[in-house]
């Protein structure tokens, strides 16, 4: 395989994850949309919320590795070369970043909802 064809990559992920692939894609798209909407609404990044989301993001990275081990036919002990370890690090990083964004977004919208209830209005 000399070229990286996106349809082949999609077919491989579809074979490995099955219907979970489409659930994960929906979570990514909706999560990013909600994150952008939150940033537009707040016009800043709340550092305290970000630090908490990053801490929970480490758990998301670990869960991404667990998911990778479940859907692949090989485990971590089969990793032999630098490309294998790079892929493991990339999966952990994607899980970390994705879960950090999702936790930050959920916490942000939750905080805004609590503030609007406290003020007696529906924002």
Residue 1 in domain: no
pLDDT digit string, tens, across residues 11-59: 888 888 889 999 999 999 999 999 999 999 999 999 999 999 999 999 9
Nearest alpha-carbon partner for 52 in 44, 60, 64: 60
3-state DSSP assignment of residue 55 = helix
Nearest alpha-carbon partner for 97 in 36, 68, 54, 37: 54
pLDDT digit string, tens, across residues 52-81: 999 999 999 999 999 988 888 777 777 778
- CA–CA separation, 19 and 72 (whole Å): 15
**Residue 109 lies in domain:** 6-119
Q: Domains in the chain: how many in total?
A: 1
Q: The pTM is what?
A: 0.84
- CA–CA separation, 42 and 15 (whole Å): 40
3-state DSSP assignment of residue 77 = helix
- CA–CA separation, 42 and 29 (whole Å): 20
């Amino acid at each position: 395989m000399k070229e990286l064809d996106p349809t082949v990559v999609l077919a491989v992920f579809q074979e490995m994850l099955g219907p979970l692939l489409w659930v994960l894609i929906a979570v990514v798209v909706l999560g990013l949309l909600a994150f952008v909407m939150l940033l537009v609404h707040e016009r800043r990044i709340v550092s305290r919320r970000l630090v908490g989301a990053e801490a929970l993001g480490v758990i998301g990275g670990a869960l991404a590795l667990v998911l990778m081990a479940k859907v692949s036919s090989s485990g971590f002990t089969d990793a032999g070369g630098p490309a294998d370890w790079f892929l493991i690090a990339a999966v952990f990083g994607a899980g970390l970043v994705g879960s950090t964004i999702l936790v930050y977004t959920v916490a942000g919208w939750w905080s805004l909802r609590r503030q609007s209830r406290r003020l007696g209005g529906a924002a």
